Amino acid sequence: MDALRVGIAGLGTVGAEVVRVIERQQRTLAARCGRPIRVVAVTARSKTKKRGLDLRGIAWAKSPLALATDPNIDCFVELIGGAGDPAGPAIEAALAAGKSVVTANKALVAKHGLKLAALAEKHAVALNYEAAVGAAIPVIKTLREGLAGTDIERVYGILNGTCNYILTRMEQEGLSFDACLADAQRLGYAEADPTFDIDGHDTAQKLSILASLAFGTKVSESSVYVEGIRSITPEDLRAADDLGYRVKLLGVAVRTAKGIEQRVHPTMVPKASSIAQVMGVTNAVSIDGDGIAPITLVGAGAGSAATASAVVADIADVARGIRAEPFGRPVAKLAAISKAPMQRHEGGYYLRLLARDHAGTAATIATRLAEQEISIESIVQRHAASTTDGAGTPAKSSPVPVILITYATSEDAVRRAIQAVQRDKVISGRPQVIRIEKN
């Protein structure tokens, strides 16, 4: 059979690695796909940059758009990134020209995936994006194909390596947030703008894609409630540890009686849960569904080799002639998302309040929680070293952290109780609220 002729737009660390993997694995790929895969053309911003690649015999296209419509390629691989120009128009042009497309571009899939999927359907070509979520972890295929016969109730996970790396090092080495972020950037995990990682938007885009595949709904990034990890302190991580939890930035999509919740926030997970074992830059996705018991996929969620692994697997599907609907069903059959309001979210909560160390403070806090029918599972008053005198006795007038774990309640009730406590002026500073997710 003729070789699949591939054109690659973008020769950054991932693009260059894809070229290397296709070269290195050529025999295996040909055996697995029943035909060879050849990179025949590439394009990138700089033609002269040193990449350690042998590009002899490979054509250089003058732009992504020119490559996308090059009659000498069958499959257009977009590794430029970004939701706009040039990635978006180039993918549209390739699909319209009847070429299958492989991309690692989560922003583009989250924002314009439906339009692109409709175009792919119209031209009966593939639009594969396994690398967009969880890099080497085959989670798109798992949801779309492996679980095609299963009703999925919840999909959640650690979808951002940078955040998990930061939280892990803060927890294990007691390092500052800034020092850990700088290391994540140095190691190449973080996005060009790391605020995208640490404020949760990277996770939100990935989650919106998983939710669409899990629930057969239209991708809706704007329906995701998002909180990042900036507010997490070493003190929260220590308290979580004492209480039998770890803090992870989770993306959670769950079907509830009120609609589909999609939320990204720092989350306390029981230390014994599978998701709590996932440390460093590793990603993990857990799927709960009808009769399948939870499935947890764990693996490298960032980095050039992990991303290239998924990109090459997607190219291999094109070579084999496998074409799945990009979101698991025709675009016309995807339902509009029925969004569950965040204030109606129900679960346990961790609250850390900086309380005035006066008689009656704990009673006031407990009363305000009781008024909202919030039941307390545990309450601890922690005297930080700085709030003790030389003899270790707490300095009476300094505020002290009070840490509470609640039984399941609603977001709304928690917000109302905190507002009431603030009005009572028994706490200072910003209350810390971390949701608890049970497995």
Identify which range of 158-166, 236-244, 261-269, 342-350 contacts ligand HSE by CB under 6 A.
158-166
161 part of the interface to ligand HSE, by CB under 6 A: yes
Q: Give the nearer residue to ligand HSE in terms of CB position, either 113 or 301.
A: 301
Interaction residues for ligand HSE, span 86-115 (CB under 6 A): none
Residues with catalytic function: 206
**Cβ of residue 298: shortest distance to ligand HSE, in angstroms?**
14
Per the structure block, which two tokens stand in for 290? 């009808």
- Is there a contact between 102 and 207 (Cβ–Cβ < 8 Å)? no
Minimum gap (Å) between residue 78 Cβ and ligand HSE = 15
* Contact between 105 and 132 (Cβ < 8 Å): yes
Closest CB to ligand HSE among residues 101, 306: 306
Contact segment (CB under 6 A) with ligand HSE among 14-22, 45-53, 183-191, 216-224 equals 183-191
State which residue, 104 or 414, has the beta carbon closest to ligand HSE.
104
Between 209 and 253, name the residue whose CB sits nearer to ligand HSE. Answer: 209
Cβ-proximal residues to 290 (8 Å cutoff; 6+ apart), any chain: 150, 151, 152, 153
State which of residues 189, 225, 327, 350 lies at the interface with ligand HSE (CB under 6 A). Answer: 189
Considering only 190, 300, 340, 365, the residue that binds ligand HSE (CB under 6 A) is 190
Among 121, 153, 191, 357, binds ligand HSE (CB under 6 A): 191
Q: By CB under 6 A, tell whether 225 contacts ligand HSE.
A: no
- Closest alpha carbon to 312 in 17, 1, 55, 3: 17
- Note whether 249 binds ligand HSE by CB under 6 A: no
With residue 261 as reference, give the H or E element that holds it: strand 259-270
The two tokens of residue 35 are 């035909």
Angle CA 3–81–72, to nearest 5: 25
Helices 361-371 and 411-423 pack at an angle, to 10 degrees, of 140
Half-sphere exposure of 182 (CA within 13 A, CB side): 5
Residues near 347 by beta carbon (within 8 Å), at least 6 away in sequence? 408, 409, 435, 436, 437, 438
Residue 302 in contact with ligand HSE, rule: CB under 6 A: yes
- Told to check if 17 binds ligand HSE by CB under 6 A, we report no
When the beta carbons of 177 and 189 are compared against ligand HSE, the nearer one is 189
The residues in 118-157 that bind ligand HSE, with binding defined as CB under 6 A, are 135
Rule CB under 6 A: say whether 301 interacts with ligand HSE.
yes
CA dihedral in degrees (173, 179, 183, 186; nearest 10)? -170
Query: According to the binding rule CB under 6 A, does residue 197 interact with ligand HSE?
Result: yes
Nearest CB to ligand HSE, comparing residues 162 and 267: 162
* C-alpha–C-alpha distance, residues 327 and 436, integer Å: 30
Report CA 290 to chain centroid distance, whole Å. 23
Contacts with ligand HSE by CB under 6 A lie at: 135, 160-162, 189-191, 197, 202, 301-302
